[in-house]
Structure 1
Amino acid sequence: MTITASRPAAAHRRKRSVLARAFGITALLSAGGSLLGLLRDLLLARYFGADQGTDAFLVSWTVPETAASVLIEDAMAFLMVPAFSLAIAAGTGAATDAGAVPGAAAKPVVAAQRGTVSAVSPGSSGTTVTTVRTGSTGSTGRGRANPVADLVAATLPPLAGLLALISAATLIGAPLLVDLLAPGLADPGLAVVCTRLTALTILPFGLTGYLSAGLRAHQRFTGPGAIYIAYNTGILAVMMLLHGSLGVRAAAGGVAFGSVLMTAVLLPPFSRHCAGLRPRRRTARGAAALAVSPWALLPIALFTLMRQSQVFVERYLASSLAPGTISHLNYAEKVAQMAMTLGVMVCTVTFPVVARALAEGDLDAARERVEKDLALVGAVVLAGTAVLLACAPQVVALLFQRGAFTARDTAATASVMRVYSLGLLGQAMVGTLVRPFFSTRPAVAFGGGTARTRDRSDWFPLAAMGLGLLVTGVLGVVTAPRYGALGLAAANAAGITLTAALLLVGIRARGVALRLRPVLLGQARLLVAASVATVAAYGAAALVGPLPLPAVLLGGLTGVVVFVLTAAAVGEPAVTAPLARLVARSRTRGRQDQGEGRHGR
């Protein structure tokens, strides 16, 4: 009995260890990519400052920003990580009917017999039984089913063709696109040239997102974590070599070159781990085992585009304000989002775990993982928000105030960053919640099942984001004439926070029944800790005086320490649990060291 009871605990420890290693790898590589991205922004400010030229480039940067959001970070991940997870589950004999997950009253019962899986799911209209053929996900042999290889063969070639067409259309339509995005731009001709260069990123970004999804579903995080190192390396190389001769066009060319490097980084590991990239003839039986629903793509893609439209609204309204306003908004957002990016890395690592649990019908495991993710993401983001609110002028001066970037630009950017930071928690919660929301009904079915059909709840994230975007637009129109960039930043924060609140409530309709009271109490405790930490960090930074580096170091360290201590004092598990594990591990290691010392004597 003792042995039986210990197996789940051992499996839990192994899973936690795998997630910890994956997070460590992702955090390390993402930190490298973020540092190179920061260096990219530093050089952009040093070489070109904040004027009509950088405004023109940043309008063109809307294309790769949108493409990255749709094709790497959000839509492609929401679509393909669940699809690959379901393919893996089908190959190992643990797949369930995805259409039976939402609203299920109990966990589906899964039984594997002789290469098939029968998923029995109680639903509102009775019991649903779906039989799925299964097989190995390893190397394919004659007569052996390989759902992962079938998925790649069915989806990658048409995806590549579609992306190439979109890239060509964007390049040709660049003048119209610039006019739509920023009609008041001072130098639209330069923006058109830069947009045609950045349009080349669409195909490699899409391939990068697809390959990343496959690797993450297979618990391979090194390649996906390194993509932004490759991306920013390409941008820096071209910008440093050609900024003197091409001006800001060098930055746009670097974006295109960096996107190609991203795909090149992922091709070898994907070919090695994800069923290979060799051409593969699909038999009639293999084709029948895979069904894809094009209808499922639409709400995911539209949600991601609407989320990115917050940037469109900002730049559209800012293009009619003073030259440099778009640049101030961009620099402020890039710095502030570093805290959010670190927090969202948590759910980036755990997303395959949630998708796999949903593919196997384990709704309880998915719910627990999402609740933990919300707490951890909130802790990381709010700690960063406290430091940014307290030390915004010193951070901006330390990073950007040199060359063409003046003290006036520092003051304007710091003010915008403080307001924009108020929406970071909302942005992080949207990123955390929308992943399991779309994973509950994957667009792919295997083994003779039917791909998912329409469901009104599929459109809930789009409706929530639409209301948030409406709030952003209305507040932006009202506040921009009087408050400028500050009004636009406040509108952004208000809109995304509303979207997060709606998703937090709406995800329960998809079968992931979050316990709202504990989740909200946890976020409230973290907000208390962030408030105390902001005051402490501000006071510490003020003690140093005008020197930015000591102020940022002292203020940042003080803010983080006070945040952790305050969160622990109010009993927030997102902080106390990791601290307890750290203390226990230190004591265990200390006892081992003592034992080794006695043995040596």
Structure 2
Amino acid sequence: MTDPDPQQASDSIPTTPDGSTRAVAPRGGGLMRSGMIVSAMTMLSRVMGLARDVVIAALFGAGQGADAFFVAFKVPNFLRRLFAEGAFNQAFVPVLSEYATRRTREEVRELLDAVAGSLTAVLLLITALAMLAAPWLVWAFAPGFGRDPEKLALTADMLRLTFPYLLLISLTAFAGSVLNTWNRFAVPAFTPVLLNLSLIGAALALTPLMSEPALALAWGVLIAGAAQLLFQVPFLARLGLLPRPWPRFAHEGVRRILRLMAPALFGVSVSQINLLLDTVLASLLAAGSVSWLYYSDRLVELPLGVFGIAIGTVILPALSKRHAEQSGEHFAAMLDWALRAVLLLGLPAALALVVLAEPLLITLFHYGAMTDHDIAMAAMSLRAYAVGLVAFMLIKVLAPGFFARQDTRTPVKVGIIAMVANMVFNLILIWPLAHAGLALATALSAFLNAGLLGYLLRQQGVLVFQPGWGRYGVQLVGGCAVMGLGLAWLSPAWQAWLDWSLWHRIGWLALLVVAGALVYFAWLAAFGVRLRHFRMRG
């Protein structure tokens, strides 16, 4: 695969004719184009993830082997979300962008060598300890397995294969952060697809060779970690940014990254605790409540990942660069652009989830043991989550306004306030609305989170709304209203979908999605919204 946004060799670290060094900075690219690339790759990854789930379900079902694998993969995957793609990325990218903008060639390379070496040393130690303590880790994450020694032993064996994935995927995240800083978004965005391909390939090819068939999946995870890291190496080498890892914890850049990571790590932990508490409360409700929330969340995660997270991914290195250049005006313009882009796609996506809740759930999940009652209940929580979709997206683009300025503490403080509010909302709404109350509480706390982030950015003079917001708001509301009315008029009653075949459902859903998109964007075009209005250089 080649990078669809190739740059010339001058974008790598340059030297002067006499061999001395000078400050380097990656050339800015079009943010909308970069966002579309990340969105497309994220969509591909989500589709392949669904295919992976289908293959695993078909081969392993919900038996002992599948249970063991899901726990063995959950441990390193949980730490990946907490560390590699959360706190580390938020701390590393702003520091790297500052070095790339203000420092010399040698200083940038020294930073990359020191960070890569220090990261590798720490993760090697953690991985070795985790492999030795595998049975105890399994017991901590799945205490119920302790009642079945055979299952516990199998899971521990799998964990020894899957835990090195944390080391490999963390180094992959390091490489991806470097590539993103140099505006090479396609390669890191495509990389997760390799995990799904590896698991599918391992499930199909290695299962017949294993004494315990599910061990094939654990090998697939290990293979995926190596494949994802090796895939990015040539692109780093092409830019002249391939590090020579050497641990240097005393390096000034490493110490700054560690200081920034501490609050960022706590902030990510807060969100994970929030999700855990929601699950605990849901487990106290009627049977099926946890599953209804899970299926609803899966649908909300699709537009959030494809639109919100994609824009947040491209905006962080761009904002970090502008902060390093002390270009406050351009920084504010980028934030304003990100807000407009999120609303352009987030508002119609949220409305479509509300209007088409049952058809979407029926088309994707109404098979086997999934009952009509399950669909009705899941639709309630899906609509509640959809109310907060725009807020979830706004958080993804407002938080980088702090991270890019190397302020990781303020988003954490706001996150703690939102978490407390979420628990209060949970206790208020769970009684009248049951599981849907938990989803609505999450949505309301997300609006509080986004509102506080936006307010503080305004107070600091960082978020400055550009002219034209009044007209833009009217254009978006009008487009959403026409689209919503059109979808409601075209879609048959959801009970009718229950009797249709798979392909009948897919055909109708595709028709509704295409028709809704055409109506929405035709309205915007008729009232003056043009693609050129969303062009922004990084």
TM-score normalised by length of structure 2: 0.77
Q: How does 1:408-557 map to 2 (within 5 A)?
A: 408-441=373-406, 458-477=408-427, 479-480=429-430, 483-508=433-458, 512-515=462-465, 526=476, 529-542=479-492, 545-546=496-497, 547-557=504-514
**Counterpart of 2:272?**
308
Is contact 1:214-1:274 (8 Å) kept? no
| Pair 1:151-2:163 in alignment | no
CA displacement, residues 501-530 of structure 1 (integer Å, 9 cap, x when unaligned): 111111245552333997698568645643
**Counterpart of 1:356?**
321
**Counterpart of 2:520?**
563
Q: How does 1:212-231 map to 2 (within 5 A)?
A: 212-231=176-195
What is the CA–CA distance in structure 1 between the aligned matches of 2:192 and 2:253, rounded to whole Å? 36
**Counterpart of 1:387?**
352
CA displacement, residues 101-125 of structure 1 (integer Å, 9 cap, x when unaligned): xxxxxxxxxxxxxxxxxxxxxxxxx
Q: How does 1:126-205 map to 2 (within 5 A)?
A: 135=104, 137=105, 146-167=106-127, 199-205=163-169
- Superposition RMSD in Å: 4.1
| Pair 1:331-2:283 in alignment | no
Quote how far apart the aligned CAs of 1:33 are.
1.3
**Counterpart of 1:259?**
225
State which drifts further: 517-526 or 412-421.
517-526
Quote how far apart the aligned CAs of 1:480 are.
4.6
What is the CA–CA distance in structure 2 between the aligned matches of 1:228 and 1:509, rounded to whole Å? 38
Q: Which amino acid aligns with 2:167?
A: L
Q: Which amino acid aligns with 2:514?
A: L
Is contact 2:82-2:265 (8 Å) kept? yes
Is contact 2:73-2:159 (8 Å) kept? yes
Q: How does 1:1-80 map to 2 (within 5 A)?
A: 18-43=30-55, 63=75, 66-80=78-92
Match of 1:269 among 235, 241, 257: 235
What is the CA–CA distance in structure 2 between the aligned matches of 1:68 and 1:174, rounded to whole Å? 17
Assess, with a 3 A threshold, how the Cα gap between structure 1 residues 386 and 561 changes in structure 2: closer, same or farther.
farther
What is the CA–CA distance in structure 1 between the aligned matches of 2:367 and 2:508, rounded to whole Å? 18
Is contact 1:390-1:538 (8 Å) kept? yes
Q: Which amino acid aligns with 1:357?
A: R
**Counterpart of 1:115?**
none
**Counterpart of 1:84?**
96
What is the CA–CA distance in structure 2 between the aligned matches of 1:198 and 1:279, rounded to whole Å? 23
Assess, with a 3 A threshold, how the Cα gap between structure 1 residues 526 and 195 changes in structure 2: closer, same or farther.
farther
Is contact 2:118-2:246 (8 Å) kept? no
Bigger share in strand: 1
State which drifts further: 420-429 or 63-72.
63-72
What is the CA–CA distance in structure 1 between the aligned matches of 2:265 and 2:409, rounded to whole Å? 11
Assess, with a 3 A threshold, how the Cα gap between structure 1 residues 288 and 355 changes in structure 2: closer, same or farther.
closer
Match of 1:577 among 526, 530, 534: 530
CA displacement, residues 257-285 of structure 1 (integer Å, 9 cap, x when unaligned): 43343222222222332532335799xxx
What is the CA–CA distance in structure 1 between the aligned matches of 2:102 and 2:355, rounded to whole Å? 50
Is contact 2:418-2:446 (8 Å) kept? yes
Assess, with a 3 A threshold, how the Cα gap between structure 1 residues 304 and 523 changes in structure 2: closer, same or farther.
farther
CA displacement, residues 294-340 of structure 1 (integer Å, 9 cap, x when unaligned): 32221122112222333222333334455654444333222221111
Quote how far apart the aligned CAs of 1:160 are.
1.9
Q: Which amino acid aligns with 2:530?
A: A
| Pair 1:340-2:304 in alignment | yes
Quote how far apart the aligned CAs of 1:42 are.
4.0
Assess, with a 3 A threshold, how the Cα gap between structure 1 residues 50 and 330 changes in structure 2: closer, same or farther.
farther
What is the CA–CA distance in structure 1 between the aligned matches of 2:532 and 2:401, rounded to whole Å? 27
Q: Tell which structure's C-alpha radius of gyration is larger.
A: 1
Q: Which amino acid aligns with 2:318?
A: V
CA displacement, residues 547-590 of structure 1 (integer Å, 9 cap, x when unaligned): 4223312321232233334556777xxxx1317799xxxxxxxx
What is the CA–CA distance in structure 1 between the aligned matches of 2:420 and 2:463, rounded to whole Å? 28
What is the CA–CA distance in structure 2 between the aligned matches of 1:241 and 1:328, rounded to whole Å? 34
Is contact 1:243-1:250 (8 Å) kept? yes
Quote how far apart the aligned CAs of 1:438 are.
1.2
Structure 2: state its 5+ residue gaps.
1-26, 498-503
Quote how far apart the aligned CAs of 1:209 are.
1.4
Is contact 2:94-2:404 (8 Å) kept? yes
CA displacement, residues 374-398 of structure 1 (integer Å, 9 cap, x when unaligned): 1101221222222222222222222
Match of 2:201 among 227, 230, 237: 237
What is the CA–CA distance in structure 2 between the aligned matches of 1:260 and 1:393, rounded to whole Å? 40
Q: How many residues align?
A: 494
Assess, with a 3 A threshold, how the Cα gap between structure 1 residues 483 and 569 changes in structure 2: closer, same or farther.
same
Q: Secondary structure at the match of 1:275?
A: coil
Quote how far apart the aligned CAs of 1:465 are.
0.7
Is contact 2:335-2:463 (8 Å) kept? no
**Counterpart of 1:402?**
367
CA displacement, residues 166-210 of structure 1 (integer Å, 9 cap, x when unaligned): 445666777777777788999998696577765443222211211
What is the CA–CA distance in structure 2 between the aligned matches of 1:552 and 1:510, rounded to whole Å? 45
Is contact 2:283-2:290 (8 Å) kept? yes
Assess, with a 3 A threshold, how the Cα gap between structure 1 residues 459 and 47 changes in structure 2: closer, same or farther.
same
Is contact 1:529-1:566 (8 Å) kept? yes
Is contact 1:46-1:404 (8 Å) kept? no
CA displacement, residues 216-258 of structure 1 (integer Å, 9 cap, x when unaligned): 1112223212111112112323345578986877666644543
Identical-pair percentage: 24
Assess, with a 3 A threshold, how the Cα gap between structure 1 residues 566 and 198 changes in structure 2: closer, same or farther.
farther
Q: Secondary structure at the match of 2:437?
A: helix
What is the CA–CA distance in structure 1 between the aligned matches of 2:321 and 2:385, rounded to whole Å? 35
What is the CA–CA distance in structure 2 between the aligned matches of 1:361 and 1:170, rounded to whole Å? 43
Q: How does 1:271-286 map to 2 (within 5 A)?
A: 271-278=237-244
